[in-house]
Structure 1
Amino acid sequence: MKFSKQFSLYQSEATQFLTSLKEANPQLEQSQRDGRALLWDKAPVDLDTQRRSAEARISQQPYVYQNKN
C-alpha cells in the first residue's frame, strides 16, 4: 500500500520526541544496551552445574505453615 508524499513526511509526536531525545542524549542507546545486558543477558550454565543444583534442591512440604505432628 503506497502513501502519497504528504504522508511519507509525517512523523508522530512520539517519534519526534524520541528523535529529539536521542539527539540531545547520544549515549542513550548504549546505556540501554548496557542495562539490558546487566539484567537479561546471562552467561550460559553448563549441564553439569544445572544437574547438581537440581539434585541439591530440597523439596518443600505442600503447606509450609502446617507443623508436622
Structure 2
Amino acid sequence: MKLSKQHSNYQSEITQFISSLKEKNPNLEESQRAGRALLWDKSPIDLDQQARIKASNVSQQAYVYQNKLK
C-alpha cells in the first residue's frame, strides 16, 4: 500500500513538538546523554569483587525471629 503525497508528509503533534524543542535547544541531546552517563552508564563490573561480595553474604534462616534449632 502506497501512501498518498499528502500522508507521506504527515507529522504528529508530538513529532512537531520534539522537532521544535530541538530547534530551540540544539544542545538538548548532548545534555540528555550527559545525564544518562551520570546516572546509568557505570564502569564495567569487576567480577572478582562481585564473587567476593557474594561469598561473604551470610545466609539467613527462613523465619528470622525463630530461635535456632539445635
- TM-score category, normalised to shorter length: 0.7 to 0.9
Distance in 2, Cα, partners of 1:60 & 1:39: 32
Between Structure 1 and Structure 2, how many residues are aligned? 68
Unaligned runs of 5+ in 2: none
Cα RMSD, aligned residues only? 1.8
In the other structure, the counterpart of 1:54 is 54
Unmatched tracts of structure 1, length 5 or more: none
CA deviations 1:31-67 (Å, max 9, x no partner) are: 1111111222121112211111111223334345x36
Alignment TM-score, normalising by the size of structure 2? 0.77
